Chain A
C-alpha cells in the first residue's frame, strides 16, 4: 500500500509541474486562432456543430488557422466555453445555435476586440418587451459579431418543387419540431415550391402539415423523440402523403425508419445531406435541404484571415452556395431541368420564395 501512495503522490506532482508549464506552451504561434463552441448536440452531431467544424477544419488546412472546438454538455457551459476561448486570446469565436444568442452578445460587448460569428442567429435580436442581456442579446447590430443566417426558404422551395414533381399520390407533407422562424422557414419555402410546381404543370399536389397563411402546421413539440417522428409519418401516410419533410433534427430519423419499414414514403432531409449523415436510410431519402454552415463558417474565417471581417449579417443563399438542395433521387430529366430553371429564377429574383 505504501508504494501505491508514493506512486500516486509522484503522479500528482508530475501533473502539477506539467500543468504549470503546459499553460504557456500551448498558446504559442502567431496563427489566427479560431474556436467553435458547440451547443448541446456535441461536435459529432452530424448536423450544425459538425458542419460548422467541417468549415473550420477546411480553413485550418487551406488558410493555416489554428482551429479548436469546445463541446457544451449543459446550458451553463456556453458562457464558460466562450470565456475559455477569450482567455486563450482567440481571434474569432464561432458559436453554434440560437441558444448561445445571449451569451455570445454579452461576451462580444465585453470584448470588442474579439470577433464572433454565430450560426443561425443575428443581431439585433431584442424586440419589445425583451430586455437586453437577459432574454435577448442586443438591441443594436454588434460591430464585432457576424450573424450567419440562411435564406433556407430558397432551398425549401426547391425541395417542395422536387417533392411535387416526384409524388405518386398527389400529396406531400412536412412537420416541424416547434413553430419558430428557423424551422418554419423550411416549410414556408416548401409549400411555395409545391404551389409553383402546380402552377407550372397544372397539377394539384396538396401540402399537409403546413399552411403559410395560417402560419401554423404540424409540430412535435420537441427535437428528440424518434417515436414522434414515426407516428407523425404514419399518420401522414394514412392521409395519403408519400413524401415527408421532417424539420425537427433527429426526430426525422424516426420518420425515415417508418418509411423504410413500410415502403410507403420518402423523406426529404434537412440541414445536411442525410445520405451522408444517415446512410442507412439512403433508399428512402428523396433529397436533402442543405444549410451549408460549413460554407458560411469558412467564409467568416477567410474574412478574418484576410482582415476584412465585419460585423453584421451573412445571408446564405442559393447564389452564394450557403443553402442548396442535394441531388434528387430518381428525378426525371424533365424534373432536373425544372429544378435548374427554378434555381436560376430564385437567384435572379424572378421567383419569390417567401
Chain B
C-alpha cells in the first residue's frame, strides 16, 4: 500500500515525548532543591550532603580510577570491587522498586489503585522463602524458577482477591487492598513465630537453600544479583503486554474510558480480575527477588514500605514501564546513597523521605511545577489514573 509510509510519520509522534516527561523531571529537581534547603536550614552543607549522596549511590570517581589502575597493573580486583560496590548496591535497592512499581502502574493503567502491593510483596516473599528453604536436594534449574514462580503466584492470589471482590460485589479495591495488607502483615507475624520459624528463638524464617538463591555476580559483600535483570525483563514484558497485545489494549481501554470499553464489547470485570492478578504477581516478584536475591531470609519488618513507595514510583513514571524503571532507579539511588549521606555528612536518612514526598506532591499537582517553571500547557489530555468512588 502506498499510503502507509509510517516510519516518517512516527517521528511526529515522538516529538511530544520530552514535553510529557518534563514535569516528572522538574519535580525531581525541585524535590532535590527543597531537600537542599532543608539540609541548609538544619545547619549542614547541602553540597557535602549531595556529594555524599552521589558517592553513596554511584561510588567515588577516584575509587574507580584506583580500582581500574590496580586491576590493570596487578590484576587485583579488590579495589575495583570496592569502587563499584555503591553502584551495585543502588541497583540492588532498585530491583524490588521496579517490580512493585510495575505492579502499581499496571493497576493504574486499568483504572485500579493497587495500594496492596505491600501485602502482596510480603506474601510473595514468604511463599518464595518457604519454597526456598523447605525443598531440599533440587537442582538450581528447578528450585530457583519454582521459588520465583511461587512468589509470583502468592502475590497474584493476594491481589486477585480484591480484584474478584470488586468485580463480583463492587467493593472498592482501595479499601480491600488495604485490608489485605493488614491480613498479610498479621499472617506474616504468625508464620514467623510459628510454622515458618527457624530454629532458635528469633522470629525469622530459615535461610533459603543455595539452589533457590538468585545467583550473585560478584563475591561478598557485593549483593548484585540476577534479580535486577529479571526486573528489567519484566519491565519489558509489561511494556509488551500493555502496548502490543490485545489484552493490554483492553486493559488500557478499560482504564482510560470504561464506558467506551464496554461499548467496544470488552469485559470490564474480567479485566479487573486479570489486572489485579497480574499486579499482585509483580508485587509478589518484588518480594521474591528481595528474599532470593538479597536477604535469603524473611524476618519481621522485612519490607521497608516498598509497596507504598511503589505508588510514588508509578506516578512518577507516568505508569509507563520505562518510566517506572527510571523512577525506580532514582529511588534506588536515593535510598542506597543515603547510607553514605548519613555516615559522611551526618544527614538523617529521613531527608530522603522528604525529597520523595516533595516529588510526589509535585507529581500529584503538576500545575505547581508548570507554574514554577512557566511551562505552557499545550492541551490538557490527562491520563485518568483511577476512577472515583462512585463507580
Consider the complex of A and B and state whether they touch directly, i.e. have CB atoms less than 8 Å apart.
Answer: yes
Chain A residues in the interface with B (C-beta under 8 A):
1, 4, 8, 14-20, 22-23, 26, 35, 40, 43, 68-71, 73-77, 79-81, 83-85, 87-88, 98-99, 101-102, 110, 125-131, 134-136, 178-182, 221-223
CB within 8 Å of A: which B30-75 residues: 47-48, 50-52, 54-55, 60-63
- Expressed in whole angstroms, the Cα–Cα distance for A91 and B159 within the complex equals 47
Asked if B201 contacts A182 (CB within 8 A), the reply is: yes
Chain B residue contacts of A126, Cβ below 8 A: 200
Say how far A137's CB is from chain B's closest CB, in angstroms: 10
Asked if B290 is an interface residue, CB under 8 A from chain A, the answer is: yes
Chain A residue contacts of B62, Cβ below 8 A: 20, 23
- Expressed in whole angstroms, the Cα–Cα distance for A17 and B54 within the complex equals 10
Closest to B301 in A: A40
- B17-41: CB near A (< 8 Å → 1, else 0) gives 0000000000001000000000000
Pairs of residues from A and B, 9 with the lowest C-beta to C-beta distance, nearest first = A74-B304, A134-B207, A18-B51, A19-B51, A180-B201, A135-B198, A19-B55, A40-B301, A135-B206
Chain B residue contacts of A83, Cβ below 8 A: 85, 221
Asked if B202 contacts A16 (CB within 8 A), the reply is: no
Segment among B141-149, B233-241, B249-257, B340-348 that sits at the interface with chain A:
B340-348
Asked if B60 contacts A75 (CB within 8 A), the reply is: no
Closest to B374 in A: A1
Say how far B232's CB is from chain A's closest CB, in angstroms: 19
Asked if B303 contacts A135 (CB within 8 A), the reply is: no
Asked if A71 contacts B348 (CB within 8 A), the reply is: yes
Asked if A4 contacts B373 (CB within 8 A), the reply is: yes
- Expressed in whole angstroms, the Cα–Cα distance for A8 and B346 within the complex equals 24
Q: Choose one: A23, A68, A178; the contact of B346 (CB below 8 Å).
A: A68
Asked if A23 contacts B344 (CB within 8 A), the reply is: yes
Q: Choose one: A43, A128, A179; the contact of B199 (CB below 8 Å).
A: A128
CB within 8 Å of A: which B349-385 residues: 349, 373
Check A135/B200 contact, CB under 8 A, given A16-B51, A80-B89.
yes
- Expressed in whole angstroms, the Cα–Cα distance for A127 and B349 within the complex equals 36
Chain A residue contacts of B199, Cβ below 8 A: 127-130, 135-136
Say how far A23's CB is from chain B's closest CB, in angstroms: 5
- Expressed in whole angstroms, the Cα–Cα distance for A134 and B342 within the complex equals 28
Say how far B168's CB is from chain A's closest CB, in angstroms: 30
**What is the size, in residues, of chain B's interface with A at 8 Å between Cβ atoms?**
57
Contacts A43-B348, A102-B297 aside, 5 further interface pairs with beta carbons under 8 A come to A19-B55, A126-B200, A128-B199, A180-B203, A181-B201
- Expressed in whole angstroms, the Cα–Cα distance for A289 and B319 within the complex equals 51
Asked if B318 is an interface residue, CB under 8 A from chain A, the answer is: no
Asked if B344 contacts A26 (CB within 8 A), the reply is: yes
Chain A residue contacts of B198, Cβ below 8 A: 130, 135-136
Chain A residue contacts of B339, Cβ below 8 A: 70, 77, 80-81, 84
Chain A residue contacts of B344, Cβ below 8 A: 22-23, 26
- B319-354: CB near A (< 8 Å → 1, else 0) gives 000000000000000011001101111101100000
- Expressed in whole angstroms, the Cα–Cα distance for A22 and B345 within the complex equals 9
Say how far B240's CB is from chain A's closest CB, in angstroms: 30
Chain A residue contacts of B204, Cβ below 8 A: 99, 135
- Expressed in whole angstroms, the Cα–Cα distance for A110 and B55 within the complex equals 25
Chain A residue contacts of B221, Cβ below 8 A: 79, 83
Asked if B206 contacts A75 (CB within 8 A), the reply is: no
CB within 8 Å of A: which B155-211 residues: 186, 189-190, 193, 198-204, 206-207
Max chain A CB contacts within 10 Å: which of B60, B61, B193, B202?
B202
Chain B residue contacts of A81, Cβ below 8 A: 339
Say how far A250's CB is from chain B's closest CB, in angstroms: 13
Asked if B82 is an interface residue, CB under 8 A from chain A, the answer is: yes
Chain B residue contacts of A102, Cβ below 8 A: 297
Closest to B89 in A: A80
Asked if A222 contacts B202 (CB within 8 A), the reply is: no
Check A14/B47 contact, CB under 8 A, given A20-B60, A135-B204, A222-B189.
yes
Max chain B CB contacts within 10 Å: which of A134, A135, A182?
A135
Closest to A68 in B: B343
Say how far B191's CB is from chain A's closest CB, in angstroms: 11
- Expressed in whole angstroms, the Cα–Cα distance for A294 and B8 within the complex equals 71
Check A88/B48 contact, CB under 8 A, given A40-B301, A180-B203.
no
Chain B residue contacts of A4, Cβ below 8 A: 373
Closest to A88 in B: B343
